[in-house]
């Protein structure tokens, strides 16, 4: 997540005096969750370690939050791990790709999240892979789960993540000649001109807002 | 004078000049000539404005005669940037965006989004039982209205007009019930983080019981028209084939997956909103075709009615119980009430914040303008929508607005199966195949 926040409107120091809402928000942890993970998550981690000897090298973090397991994977190992998860741990379905853009995380600005589902065992886990803005490449998982085709195109369209090995990585929602990737946090939003003394309504990203 | 040979008008030279005799083409030689051609490939652009493509879906078809050799679906014509917009609105305001994605199943969109927020807030267990029962009731009503569109438009696209009239008659009745409960027929933003926007109006359970009776009777009309109908079966049996392996690799869920015989329904497999407390069956078919999906949707209507009846019994037992989480830092303070001129602000609430309690006014103002904060983290919450697994992937940075919201839309995902279902088939059958996926372009493009 972004840095810890304090106060309303980005005020520092004195902060807010209303006492409303606790006001100090802590940033999410960056470490791994310690075992036991709870539920079937320990079993999944054990099975994966057994089926994939390079577990410690490929998986940088194992996080359990809100009752969900996330495996943070090095991007160059993603396809190997995905294949083992599909074939050995029976995660037959990948429910898509969701991109996230963290501009303040230097070196790992772009994140792709893959929710996996095992219908055989009724289990769900999540894979998370990050890459940098300067080298926005992540290997494609279309060969492993064919249904990822459109999801990867959408994530490319919206975030500019290039999925290497995708059979036809083109824009899917925006027009083909569109500039930029709209769901990146640095994508400029338009303001609205109003017919009153040349004023404009500022773009949503530039308006004063509660943080 | 030209010297090129014209097959439709042979010419001969006379003393008066060239004389043409227009005899019409030599059909036999023309046909044999085409038969010798190595390839007769036609590219047809179907849509985006086409009555049979279920909204603004564009299909680029490559045909050999009437056989489809390749289909490339083109989408994005209805992209509205809802996911991006939600990043600039408070958590509660997000429901008004989410509800507009898949405009045929608004309650499911709202519920998936709110379940995700509640998971992040850690209040899943605190949502009052009455609120959960109302959510279930609304979702099942919505499943009926959505399936009605799927059946009605699906039949219309295959040339049957009668079923559409019956289906939309039923759908109107459900939408009338929505209007009575929420004030709006569609896009209601009724499900809110922590509960629902307001309680059911007085006498609603009685009215809904009547509705269930009427619907159960009326559903028979369409059943009589279509089930076992020879023409309908010729257009649907064995069409749009997609087996379990195809569904798994393409991530297909919902009626298309259940038509392969796998009883996968999130209401049973990972219950939410208390679905584990209801008696209902998961409907499957084993034909993997359009007819099987049609039968599944028809049978799911009855299962939804069963769930609605159980929900109404629960609601009668829970009369007067809260419909919003008790935590006043999350519960929306504005109470709505039905007045003589329609749904509006509750006069009692206005009297309190404007007349008697300054603190109430401050609280109201802070919660409505600032909203509540959601602890940092990411969650994935899925519900079984009429089209399959609809899920919200919600990321919070600890602020009053979502950092990122992504919807795993079943329509978007399932539309990928168009090619697998229709390549190698006849061009007329792609209509049935797409209709059986039941894509809603508002959900596909978001």
Give the CATH number, domain containing residue A173: 3.30.460.80
The mean per-residue pLDDT over the stretch A43-64 comes to: 85
Q: How many Cα atoms are found within 13 Å in the side-chain-facing hemisphere of B324? A: 18
Token pair 């605190």: residue = B126
A-contacting residues of B 114-133, CB under 8 Å? 119-120, 122
- Domain membership of residue A20 (yes or no) is no
Looking at the partner chain, which of A28, A122, A146 has a beta carbon nearest the beta carbon of B249? A146
- Domain membership of residue A17 (yes or no) is no
- Domain membership of residue A156 (yes or no) is yes
- The residue among B99, B101, B98 whose CA lies nearest residue B55 is B101
Residue A173: list chain B partners with CB under 8 A.
Answer: 75-76, 79, 445-446
Return the number of CB contacts < 8 Å for A and B: 137
Domains and their CATH numbers in chain B: 73-330+372-445 (1.10.645.10)
Evaluate if residue B69 carries a pLDDT over 70. yes
The pLDDT of residue B148 is 92
Token pair 């005020």: residue = A11
B-contacting residues of A 37-56, CB under 8 Å? none
B-contacting residues of A 177-196, CB under 8 Å? 182-183
- The chain B residue lying nearest A187, using CA atoms, is B84
A-contacting residues of B 355-384, CB under 8 Å? 362, 366, 369-373, 375-380, 382
The pLDDT of residue A194 is 65
**CA-to-CA distance for B300 and B291, rounded, in angstroms?**
14
Most confident range (mean pLDDT) of B32-46, B48-62, B391-405 is B391-405
Question: How close, in Å, is residue B433 to chain A by CA atoms?
Answer: 18
The pLDDT of residue A17 is 46
- The chain A residue lying nearest B396, using CA atoms, is A1
Looking at the partner chain, which of B75, B391, B393 has a beta carbon nearest the beta carbon of A172? B75
Evaluate if residue B367 carries a pLDDT over 60. yes
Q: What are phi and psi of A116, to 5 degrees?
A: -110, 150
The pLDDT of residue B30 is 60
The pLDDT of residue A176 is 86
State how beta strands A200-201 and A192-193 pair.
antiparallel
The token pair at B266 is 């999130």
Interchain contact A6–B (C-beta under 8 A): no
Residue B78: list chain A partners with CB under 8 A.
Answer: none
| From A119-128, B256-265, B288-297, B350-359, the region with the lowest mean pLDDT | B350-359
Evaluate if residue A3 carries a pLDDT over 70. no
Q: Answer with the residue of higher pLDDT: B72 or B23.
A: B72
The pLDDT of residue A107 is 85
Q: How confident is the model at residue A29 (pLDDT cuts 50, 70, 90)?
A: low
| From A20-29, B20-29, B56-65, B215-224, the region with the lowest mean pLDDT | A20-29
- Domain membership of residue A123 (yes or no) is yes
- The residue among B435, B75, B388, B74 whose CA lies nearest residue A95 is B388
The mean per-residue pLDDT over the stretch B66-75 comes to: 89
Evaluate if residue B81 carries a pLDDT over 60. yes
**Mutation target among B264, B406, B409 for the A interface, most CBs of A within 10 A:** B406
The mean per-residue pLDDT over the stretch B166-187 comes to: 90
Q: How confident is the model at residue B149 (pLDDT cuts 50, 70, 90)?
A: very high
- Domain membership of residue A14 (yes or no) is no
- Domain membership of residue A196 (yes or no) is yes
Residue A93: list chain B partners with CB under 8 A.
Answer: 248, 251
Contact (CB<8Å) B401/A209: yes
Contact (CB<8Å) B408/A98: yes
- Rg, chain B, Cα only: 27
**CA-to-CA distance for B303 and B307, rounded, in angstroms?**
6
Contact (CB<8Å) A100/B399: no
Evaluate if residue B144 carries a pLDDT over 70. yes
B-contacting residues of A 14-33, CB under 8 Å? 18, 20-22, 25-28
- Domain membership of residue A107 (yes or no) is yes
Contact A123, A95 (CB under 8 A): no
Contact (CB<8Å) A122/B379: no
B-contacting residues of A 54-113, CB under 8 Å? 65-68, 70, 92-96, 98-101, 113
Q: How confident is the model at residue B49 (pLDDT cuts 50, 70, 90)?
A: confident
Q: What is the Cα A161 distance to its own chain's centre?
A: 11
Token pair 């419909």: residue = B323
Residue B443's contacts (CB-CB under 8 Å, 6 or more residues apart) are: B101, B102, B103, B105, B109, B387, B407, B409, B410, B411, B412
* Mean pLDDT score across all residues of chain B: 87
Domain count, chain A: 1
Q: How confident is the model at residue B212 (pLDDT cuts 50, 70, 90)?
A: very high
The token pair at A56 is 């410690």
The pLDDT of residue B25 is 57
Q: Answer with the residue of higher pLDDT: B113 or B159.
A: B113
Contact (CB<8Å) A66/B269: no
- Domain of A72 in residue numbering reads as 30-206
- The residue among B259, B264, B257, B262 whose CA lies nearest residue B291 is B259
Contact (CB<8Å) B370/A8: yes
Interchain contact A171–B (C-beta under 8 A): yes
Contact B383, B390 (CB under 8 A): yes
- Domain membership of residue A7 (yes or no) is no
Q: How confident is the model at residue B42 (pLDDT cuts 50, 70, 90)?
A: confident
The pLDDT of residue A9 is 52
Residue B90: list chain A partners with CB under 8 A.
Answer: 210
Question: How close, in Å, is residue B429 to chain A by CA atoms?
Answer: 23
**CA-to-CA distance for A156 and A169, rounded, in angstroms?**
7
Tens digit of each residue's pLDDT (9 = 90 or more) over A147-188? 999 999 999 999 999 999 999 899 999 888 888 899 998 888
Tens digit of each residue's pLDDT (9 = 90 or more) over A87-132? 988 999 999 999 999 988 888 889 999 999 999 999 999 999 999 9
Q: For residue B126, give the DSSP letter.
A: G
Contact (CB<8Å) B376/A147: no
Looking at the partner chain, which of A100, A119, A147 has a beta carbon nearest the beta carbon of B250? A147
- The residue among B182, B176, B208 whose CA lies nearest residue B316 is B208
Q: For residue B203, give the DSSP letter.
A: T
The pLDDT of residue A132 is 92
Token pair 């995660």: residue = A91
- The chain A residue lying nearest B74, using CA atoms, is A172
CA angle A86, A89, A90 (to 5 degrees): 55
The pLDDT of residue B334 is 62
Interchain contact A124–B (C-beta under 8 A): yes
Looking at the partner chain, which of B75, B83, B377 has a beta carbon nearest the beta carbon of A65? B377
DSSP secondary structure letters along B132-148? HHHHHHHHHHHHHHHHH
State how beta strands A68-73 and A123-131 pair.
parallel
Q: Answer with the residue of higher pLDDT: B290 or B11.
A: B290
Q: Answer with the residue of higher pLDDT: A205 or B411.
A: B411
């Amino acid at each position: 997540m972004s840095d810890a926040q304090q106060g309303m409107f980005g005020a520092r120091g004195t902060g807010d005096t209303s006492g409303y809402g606790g006001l100090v928000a802590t940033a999410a942890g960056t470490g791994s969750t310690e075992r036991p993970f709870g539920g079937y998550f320990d079993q999944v981690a054990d099975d994966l370690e057994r089926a994939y000897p390079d577990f410690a090298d490929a998986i940088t973090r194992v996080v359990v939050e809100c009752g969900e397991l996330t495996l943070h994977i090095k991007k160059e190992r993603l396809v190997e791990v995905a294949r083992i998860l599909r074939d050995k741990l029976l995660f037959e379905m990948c429910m898509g790709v969701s991109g996230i853009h963290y501009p303040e995380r230097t070196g790992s600005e772009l994140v792709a999240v893959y929710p996996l589902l095992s219908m055989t065992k009724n289990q769900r886990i999540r894979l998370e892979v990050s890459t940098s803005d300067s080298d926005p490449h992540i290997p494609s998982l279309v060969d492993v789960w064919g249904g990822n085709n459109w999801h990867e195109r959408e994530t490319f369209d919206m975030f500019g993540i290039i999925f290497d090995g995708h059979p036809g990585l083109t824009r899917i929602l925006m027009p083909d000649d569109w500039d930029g990737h709209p769901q990146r946090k640095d994508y400029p939003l338009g303001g609205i001109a109003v017919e009153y003394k040349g004023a404009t309504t500022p773009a949503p990203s530039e308006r004063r807002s509660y943080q | 004078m030209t010297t090129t040979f014209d097959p439709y008008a042979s010419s001969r030279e006379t003393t008066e000049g060239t004389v043409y005799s227009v005899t019409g083409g030599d059909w036999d030689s023309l046909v044999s000539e085409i038969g010798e051609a190595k390839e007769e490939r036609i590219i047809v652009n179907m849509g985006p404005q086409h009555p049979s493509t279920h909204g603004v879906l564009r299909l680029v078809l490559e045909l050999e005669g009437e056989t489809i050799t390749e289909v490339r679906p083109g989408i994005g014509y209805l992209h509205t940037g809802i996911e991006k917009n939600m990043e600039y609105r408070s958590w509660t305001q997000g429901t008004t965006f989410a509800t507009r994605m898949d405009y045929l199943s608004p309650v499911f969109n709202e519920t998936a989004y709110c379940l995700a927020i509640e998971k992040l807030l850690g209040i899943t267990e605190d949502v009052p039982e009455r609120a959960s029962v109302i959510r279930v009731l609304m979702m099942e009503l919505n499943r009926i209205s959505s399936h009605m569109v799927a059946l009605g438009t699906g039949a219309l696209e295959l040339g049957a007009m009668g079923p559409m009239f019956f289906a939309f008659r039923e759908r109107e009745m459900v939408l009338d019930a929505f209007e009575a409960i929420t004030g709006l027929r569609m896009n209601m933003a009724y499900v809110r983080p922590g509960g629902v926007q307001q309680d059911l109006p007085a006498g609603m359970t009685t009215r809904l019981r009547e509705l269930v009776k009427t619907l159960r009777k009326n559903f028979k009309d369409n059943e009589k028209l279509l089930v076992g109908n020879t023409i309908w079966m010729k257009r649907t049996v064995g069409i749009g084939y997609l087996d379990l392996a195809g569904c798994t690799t393409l991530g297909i869920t919902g009626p298309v997956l259940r038509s392969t015989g796998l009883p996968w329904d999130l209401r049973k497999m990972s219950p939410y909103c208390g679905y584990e407390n209801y008696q209902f069956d998961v409907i499957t078919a084993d034909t993997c075709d359009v007819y099987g999906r049609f039968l599944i949707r028809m049978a799911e209507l009855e299962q939804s009615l069963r769930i609605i009846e159980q929900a109404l019994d629960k609601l009668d037992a829970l009369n007067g119980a809260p419909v919003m989480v008790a935590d006043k830092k999350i519960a929306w303070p504005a109470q709505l009430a039905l007045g003589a001129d329609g749904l509006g602000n509750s006069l009692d609430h206005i009297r309190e914040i404007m007349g008697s309690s300054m603190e109430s006014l401050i609280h109201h103002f802070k919660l409505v303008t600032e909203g509540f904060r959601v602890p940092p983290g990411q969650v994935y919450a899925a519900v079984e929508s009429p089209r399959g697994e609809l899920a919200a992937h919600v990321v919070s940075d600890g602020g009053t607005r979502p950092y990122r919201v992504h919807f795993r839309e079943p329509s978007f995902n399932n539309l990928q199966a168009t090619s697998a279902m229709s390549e190698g088939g006849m061009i007329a059958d792609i209509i049935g195949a797409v209709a059986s996926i039941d894509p809603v372009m508002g959900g596909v493009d978001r």
